[in-house]
Amino acid sequence: MLESVGSLTGSPWIYAAVAVSVVLDVFLPVLPSGVLVITAATAAAGSAAGAVPHAVPDLLVLTLCAATASVLGDLVAYRIAWRGGERLDRAIARSRRLTTAQERLGDVLARGGPARGVLVVVARFAPAGRSVVSLGAGAAHRRIREFLPWSVLAGCAWAGYSVGLGYFGGQWLGATWLATGVSFGALLIAGAGAAYLVRRPGLREQHSGV
């Protein structure tokens, strides 16, 4: 079991795998980017304990890689939605999630302030929330300075949380697939909580008022 975890994360190519997965899951939320990040962090915990002898990712580099890829993917989706086109406009019009996102982001991002961008950060943890926010901000033609700082904060928060789950799960349960599964379960729970907060009718009023 330990060998299989180490062989998956023991190559520097794990950074590329994490980066590509995180960039693309803004368009394909089913990609297991969270699993990859957590698995690599779990193996790092095993290496620190001497349980996994392979060269595994450095935790800081892994966190920076995941966070940077998250922001890059957000910007790609944002620019695509900004440039629009009839096909994208029709897709957004058919999507209740994207339509709602445009309505909420119009006030939330434009007003700014630490409380106003919380929707962007919270949505990063919700299933498909990142896609909704990035595409919604671009389609609503929010200015980049209104969107980018919150995207950076959201990416860093998600990456740090995911790496932390994997590392501490590996510390407590060992560098096993059980630790990875438990840590990923914690990430899913956080995602369910974030989805609930994003769907709350009062969220817009709470973060767009004075």
In this predicted structure, what is the pLDDT of residue 72? 96
Nearest to 189 by CA among 152, 167, 161: 161
In this predicted structure, what is the pLDDT of residue 27? 83
In this predicted structure, what is the pLDDT of residue 2? 43
0.85 exceeded by pTM? no
- Record the tokens describing residue 100, joined without a space: 């709602």
Nearest to 129 by CA among 105, 156, 161: 105
In this predicted structure, what is the pLDDT of residue 134? 87
Nearest to 174 by CA among 59, 55, 58, 47: 47
In this predicted structure, what is the pLDDT of residue 138? 85
In this predicted structure, what is the pLDDT of residue 107? 53
d(CA 175, CA 167): 9
- Record the tokens describing residue 175, joined without a space: 């560098």
In this predicted structure, what is the pLDDT of residue 51? 47
DSSP letter string, 5-34? HHHHHSSTHHHHHHHHHHHHTTT-TTS-HH
For the beta carbon of residue 103, count every other beta carbon within 10 angstroms. 13
In this predicted structure, what is the pLDDT of residue 190? 80
Q: Where are the alpha helices (DSSP H) in the chain?
A: 2-9, 13-24, 33-48, 59-83, 86-94, 96-111, 118-123, 129-139, 144-173, 177-199, 203-208
Mean pLDDT per 10-residue interval, the chain, length 210 residues: 52 86 85 84 67 64 95 93 72 63 56 62 83 82 86 94 87 69 79 68 44
Own/partner pairs, 92-100, CB within 8 angstroms, 24+ separation: 92/135, 92/136, 92/139, 97/128, 97/132, 98/132, 98/135, 98/136, 98/139
